[in-house]
Each structure stands twice: as C-alpha cells, then as structure tokens.
C-alpha cells in the first residue's frame, strides 16, 4: 500500500505541474514544455518604419455591431503636419503627448524600476520599433478631429513645480467642429483626467461620437520569468456582465467574448503587475469594441454617442485614464470591479482574504518579507490539527516499515495473501494508509491561493526583505533560498517512511532536486514562503515522529 501511496504522490505532483501548464496555456501564456513559435511576433510597422504608424484605424460606430469595424481615412492635413511632443512631468509619471492626434505615446513610471534593467524606470505606453502601447481618442461621425488630426497646445506649465496639478490643453478644428482635449495630472496619482469638449462652429446640427481606445502589440512584457507566466491581454467590465478578460489571440481570431453595449464600466489592457484602464463617465451609453488593427497590433475601446449638438453649442465628456501598478487600495477607489484586474482566478474566494490579512500584518511589521513569514506561520497554526494528523500517520507508517518489508518478502509471489497481511497489519497497528494524504489535499487550495497572491501582488515588486534580497518579486540573485529549499525538501523526504522498493526509494530521493530546479526561477517571495513552510513542517514532523517513537518504545 505504501508503494501505491508513493506512486500516487508522484502522479499527483506531476499532474499538478501539467494542470498548471494547461491553465497557463488556456490563459494565452506560453507553455512550460511546448513553447509556440508565434509568441514573439514582431510589432507591426508602417510605411515609415515606425511601430506606431500601424495604428491608423479610427473606430466607426455601427448600428448592427459594436466591434468597430471599418476605418475613417486619415485627414490630409494630418499627413503633411509635423507634430510636437509635449512632456508632462509629475512626481510619479513622465508622459509624452503628441500634438498629432493628442496621442499619449510614452508613459514612464518614475517610482517603478524596469524589470530587465533596474537602473531605468518602467515604461508602459511607448511608440518604438519594438513596442507599441498607446492611448488614443477622437471624434467620428463626420470630418471631425481624431487621433490623426493636428492639435495646437495652449501655453502653460509642463511640470508640477509647487502645485498639485498640471494641465495640458490641446485644440483642433476640422470641418467647423472644434475638439478640445484637456489632460489633468495630479501629484502622487497615476490617474489622468481626460476631458473632451466638442464645440459646433458650423451652421447646422451635428451628431458626433467620441471614441476612447487603447492600442497595444501582442508581445508579452520583457523580462518574464521562466516557469512564472502571467496573463497579458485586455479586459472589459460592466455592471451587467461583470469582469471579462481575453487574450490578444482571442481578438486575432475574432472570438473575444465581452459585452457590446453598456452605460457604465471600463476597459483595460493588463500585464503582470500593471494595468491601463479607461474609465468613461458613468451613465453614458457606449459601444464596446475590440479589433485587430494590423499584424500583431490590437485595440480595445468605447464609442460614446454625444447626441445632437446645435450650432454654437458645446458638449463635454469626461473620462479617466489610469495607468500604473495594480495596487488594491488604489484600484478599489477608482471604479467598481477594477480590483479584478488583479486576477486570482478560481482561488479568488480564498486569495482575497489572504491578501487582506497580509496587508494588516504589513501595517504592523512594515516589511513584506517578514509579512510572508508571519502569514506562513499563521496558516501553519490554522492547519496544525490537520498537519499533526498527517504526520502522525506518516510516523506510524515509518515505525511499521520493517514489518511491511517482511510481509512483502514473505508473500512476494502471492499478491493476494500479501494484501491480506497488509490489511491485517494496518488494522492491528490502527493505521489509515490515506491518513497522510487527505489532510495535505485539504490544504492545497489554500497553498495555491497564497501562491496566486504572492505572484499577482505588485506590492512585492521592488520590496526588499533583508541582506541580499532586494526584490521579493525577482528571483534570488545568489540562489541561496532555492538551495535552502532543496535541502529542506530533502530533509522532509528523509523524515517520511522509506519505500521498501530500492528503485522507488531512489526516485523519492531525487524528487526534491527535480522540483527544486523550478524554484531557481521563481520570485524570491514565493521561495521564501515555501522555505518557511518547509522548515515549520520539518519541526512539526520531527517532534511528532520522535514522540511516536518514544511511545512505541
């Protein structure tokens, strides 16, 4: 029976690994074992060789679909015009907005370090040969200003200086319709208020629609860690349909499932730790669209009808653009459901309380590394009765291993008698063969939820613990924690009952080494959790095994 249990453990562990791989592939991430050839598709380039030049489509409202199919030809004045790039700097962001279209083409997060090169700041929005990530707005429904029209920047400050806000006002007139875009940046805030004022200077009523869209190439963020693949794609939220996310591959195939009409909600582009979300004003009817713009270039957005604007009248539509780290405390204040971009999947019901508990501990300790250790201790205490039952069962199995070996030798040619003798032994010694497995199986959802919390929480990014660990979201630079992890797994194996089969025993001895290899690539915060859990488990198992041995003697 112990051989069956060991085989069950091996199959269970490998199954977990393959289930994780399948889940990653289902969410559009590369496989751990079978990487696809199209995961590093180049960014589409336009005639001038610029990655951004591929983003030329303007969404067009449709009575039959909200997919935004079709495009308005570029304005001739925009083709010949040369834009000016305006730089706005606050204490947390550095933004570059092009006067051609009023397009946000570069956004640097001054408080977040780049994943690949920590000496640089992290860049989200970008327009370069290797990355396209843009925020675009404009009007449709006539020859109106759009994200390809030339705008004029009104004079004003470009940095915060001593104030708490800085504004950039852009104006463009086309076909007698003036569009004024006002970008407002606030100190300490990643949210940009984007106000659109449409003025009808023609002699007839007009019925334009405002579009807001986020454009991005389909490549994953640079610096993705091996064995730790996270979701990169788009998402939509409405009060009726709730949170819906989809990959760029879904948009490519035209099967992105999301709501098409609403009068509330938001849309976003997601990647590991960071999100960009457009939040239009509430109670404004809108169409929701997703579409492929060019090779490896995709858009998600809203079209908001502005109604009929009489000659000489003006209409204003407000929106907010958040682009920054997925900090739960910030997201929950911005819009309903925005915290869902920090997606825990099916573990959400357990993961959210775990993260809440971690934030409370962090308020006291002030260090996320010690918070992880403290939380692991609390979880271990909560599951102490189950763990104790498991280790007692293992200790009993270890004590009777010589008897089990003797029975196997005696009845090795008579399987039926051997099984009967084993069952008699279990009955005599009051051993449940599954007693060591069931308590651990019950704890698995909690451990997986904690894994999701540690993997998804940007709070651990650039967060130091002590000594050589300067970033709990990055792998251990000297591999000290993974080595300690391997040693702790080896000690646990030695404390468990030794399989009577020599070959099986060797396999079990190599299992810690095989599984520990992955931890060399895991974020150090995750490894710290497993090391702490293993050390506590070893201490608990050693005490119980020693106590059981003394009782038996």
For the stretch 155-170, pLDDT in tens is 999 999 888 999 999 9
Dump the DSSP string for 25-78.
HHTTPPPSSS--TTTTPPPP--TTS-GGGG--------SS-SS--S-PPPPHHH
How far CA 116 is from CA of 120, 327, 535, in Å, comes to: 9, 21, 32
pLDDT value of position 508: 67
Does the pLDDT value for residue 214 go beyond 90? Answer: yes
Class of the CATH-defined domain 51-60+84-220+230-343: mainly beta
What does the mean pLDDT of the chain come to? Answer: 82
Report the candidate in 271, 253, 263, 157 with the shortest Cα–Cα distance to residue 217: 271
Residue, of 83 and 376, whose pLDDT is higher: 376
Does the pLDDT value for residue 1 go beyond 50? Answer: no
Please state which of the ranges 62-76, 224-238, 279-293, 320-334 shows the lowest mean pLDDT: 62-76
pLDDT value of position 452: 86
pLDDT value of position 415: 80
**Range ranked top by mean pLDDT from 152-161, 383-392, 414-423, 539-548:** 152-161
Report residue 301's pLDDT band, with 50, 70 and 90 as the boundaries. very high
Three-state secondary structure call for residue 478: coil
pLDDT value of position 150: 96
Which backbone phi and psi does 162 adopt, to 5 degrees?
-95, -5
Report the candidate in 130, 291, 298, 145 with the shortest Cα–Cα distance to residue 208: 145
pLDDT value of position 71: 45
For the stretch 400-440, pLDDT in tens is 777 777 877 788 777 887 888 878 877 777 766 655 565 56
Residue, of 432 and 323, whose pLDDT is higher: 323
Q: How much is the CA Rg of the chain, to the nearest whole Å?
A: 29
Residue extents of the structural domains in the chain: 2-25+352-552, 51-60+84-220+230-343
* Residue 254 burial by Cβ neighbours in a 10 Å radius (0-12, 13-18, 19+): exposed
User: Phi/psi class of residue 336: alpha, beta or left (left: φ > 0; alpha: ψ in -120 to 50)?
Assistant: beta
Tokens of 307: 């109604």
Does the pLDDT value for residue 183 go beyond 70? Answer: yes
For the stretch 510-532, pLDDT in tens is 777 777 777 888 889 989 998 99
Please state which of the ranges 76-90, 108-122, 345-359 shows the lowest mean pLDDT: 76-90
For β-strands 297-305 and 286-294, DSSP reports them as antiparallel
Residue, of 471 and 552, whose pLDDT is higher: 471
* Residue 415 burial by Cβ neighbours in a 10 Å radius (0-12, 13-18, 19+): exposed
For the stretch 63-84, pLDDT in tens is 334 333 334 333 333 344 578 9
pLDDT value of position 226: 63
How far CA 278 is from CA of 36, 240, 269, 408, 545, in Å, comes to: 31, 18, 9, 68, 58
Does the pLDDT value for residue 443 go beyond 50? Answer: yes
Taking residues 471-480, report their average pLDDT: 89
Report the candidate in 257, 254, 230, 261 with the shortest Cα–Cα distance to residue 243: 257
pLDDT value of position 32: 46
Taking residues 15-25, report their average pLDDT: 52
pLDDT value of position 172: 97
Count other C-beta atoms under 10 Å from residue 229's C-beta: 22
Tokens of 53: 């030049």
Report residue 503's pLDDT band, with 50, 70 and 90 as the boundaries. low
How far CA 465 is from CA of 289, 386, 473, in Å, comes to: 43, 30, 11
Does the pLDDT value for residue 255 go beyond 80? Answer: yes
Tokens of 185: 């940046």
For the stretch 35-64, pLDDT in tens is 443 344 444 433 333 344 444 466 765 433
Does the pLDDT value for residue 8 go beyond 50? Answer: no
Dump the DSSP string for 301-332.
EEEEE---B-TT-EEEEEEEEEEEE--HHHHH
Predicted TM-score of the model (pTM) = 0.79
Please say whether the beta carbons of 99 and 83 come within 8 A: yes
């Amino acid at each position: 029976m112990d051989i069956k249990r060991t085989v069950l453990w091996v199959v269970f562990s490998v199954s977990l690994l393959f289930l994780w791989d399948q889940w990653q592939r289902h969410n559009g991430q590369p496989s751990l074992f079978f990487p696809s050839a199209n995961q590093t598709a180049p960014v589409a380039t336009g005639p001038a060789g610029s990655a951004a030049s591929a983003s030329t489509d303007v969404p067009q409202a449709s009575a039959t679909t909200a997919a935004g199919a079709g495009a308005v030809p570029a304005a001739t004045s925009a083709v010949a015009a040369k834009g000016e790039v305006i730089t706005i700097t606050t204490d947390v962001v550095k933004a570059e907005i092009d006067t051609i279209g009023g397009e946000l083409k570069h956004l640097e997060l001054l408080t977040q370090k780049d994943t690949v090169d920590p000496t640089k700041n992290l860049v989200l929005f970008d327009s370069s040969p290797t990355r396209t990530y843009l925020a675009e707005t404009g009007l449709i429904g006539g020859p109106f200003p759009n994200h390809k029209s030339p705008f004029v920047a009104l004079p004003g400050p470009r940095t915060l200086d001593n104030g708490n806000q800085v504004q950039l006002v852009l104006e463009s007139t086309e076909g007698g319709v003036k569009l004024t875009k006002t970008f407002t940046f606030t100190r300490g805030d990643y949210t940009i208020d984007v106000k659109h004022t449409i003025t009808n200077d023609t002699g007839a009523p007009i019925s334009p629609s405002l579009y807001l869209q986020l454009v991005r190439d389909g490549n994953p963020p640079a610096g993705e860690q091996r064995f730790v693949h996270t979701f990169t794609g788009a998402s939509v939220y409405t009060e009726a349909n709730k949170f819906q996310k989809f990959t760029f591959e879904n948009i490519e195939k035209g099967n992105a499932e999301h709501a098409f009409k609403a009068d509330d909600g938001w849309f976003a582009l997601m990647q590991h730790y960071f999100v960009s979300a457009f939040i239009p004003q509430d109670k404004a009817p809108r169409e929701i669209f997703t579409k492929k713009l060019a090779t490896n270039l995709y858009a998600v957005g809203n079209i908001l009808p502005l109604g009929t604007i009489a000659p000489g009248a003006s209409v204003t539509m407000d929106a907010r653009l958040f682009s920054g780290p997925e900090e739960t405390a910030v997201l929950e204040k911005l819009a309903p459901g925005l915290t869902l971009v920090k997606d825990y999947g099916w573990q959400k019901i357990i993961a959210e309380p775990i993260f809440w508990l971690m934030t409370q501990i962090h308020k006291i300790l002030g260090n996320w590394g010690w918070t992880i250790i403290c939380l692991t201790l609390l979880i271990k205490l909560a599951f102490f009765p189950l763990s104790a039952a498991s280790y007692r069962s293992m200790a009993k199995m270890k004590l009777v291993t010589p008897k089990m070996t003797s029975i196997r030798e005696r009845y090795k040619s008579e399987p039926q008698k051997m099984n009967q003798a084993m069952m008699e032994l279990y009955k005599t010694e009051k051993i449940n063969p599954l007693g060591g497995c069931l308590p651990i199986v019950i704890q698995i959802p909690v451990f997986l939820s904690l894994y999701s919390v540690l993997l998804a929480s940007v709070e651990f990014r650039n967060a130091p613990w002590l000594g050589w660990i300067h970033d709990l979201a990055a792998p251990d630079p000297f591999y000290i924690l993974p080595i300690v992890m391997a040693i702790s797994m080896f000690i646990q194996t030695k404390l468990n009952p030794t399989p009577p089969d020599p070959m099986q025993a060797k396999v079990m001895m190599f299992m810690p080494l095989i599984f520990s290899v992955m931890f060399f690539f895991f974020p150090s915060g995750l490894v710290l959790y497993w090391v702490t859990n293993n050390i506590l488990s070893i201490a608990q198992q050693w005490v119980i095994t020693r106590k059981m041995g003394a009782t038996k003697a």
